[in-house]
Amino acid sequence: MQSITRLPPTDGIDPAIGDLDGWVVTEGTPSMKTWVLHTATDGAMVSGIWECTVGSYHATYTAYEYVVLIAGRIVITPDGGTPVTVKAGDAFVVEKDFKGTWKIEENVRKHFDFVVG
């Protein structure tokens, strides 16, 4: 079995277009594109690229996510919590029980890794 997989560029791959499950628009008319570039053979991890235009969502997570923000700026506010601002070049983690608002202040492109379970 191959133990290293180089992720392909998004050029030439059709993205999934539409809001993710558990994400509800709360402000503006943001739109999402998601490129799933790799899924582990056991299904425990999914990697890819996500883009979103300016606006806000209330998000409910069911999986742990590691993110590297490639472009853009987001203010992420957990329900009842303190806002966290992330910008291009930042890396961060979202816990699988997260519920809160993602305010996309500048168009975003991120690399993500979801760990399921």
Q: Can you say how many angstroms the Cα of residue 73 is from the centroid of all Cα atoms in its chain?
A: 13
* Residue that is written with structure tokens 């690399």 in the block: 111
Q: Which two tokens stand for residue 3?
A: 């133990």
Residue 7's pLDDT is what?
Answer: 92
Q: How high is the pLDDT of residue 3?
A: 84
Quick one: average pLDDT of 4-14? 90
**pLDDT mean across residues, the chain:** 95
Per-residue pLDDT at 29: 97
Specify the pLDDT at position 14.
Answer: 93
Q: Residue 19 CA to chain centroid, in angstroms?
A: 11
- Per domain, the residue ranges of the chain are 21-30+43-115
**What pLDDT does residue 48 have?**
97
DSSP structural state of residue 9: P
CATH number for domain 21-30+43-115, candidates 2.60.120.10, 2.60.40.2250, 3.40.50.300, 3.10.290.10: 2.60.120.10
Give residue 2's pLDDT: 66
- Which pLDDT tens digit goes with each residue over 52-108? 999 999 999 999 999 999 999 999 999 999 999 999 999 999 999 999 999 999 999
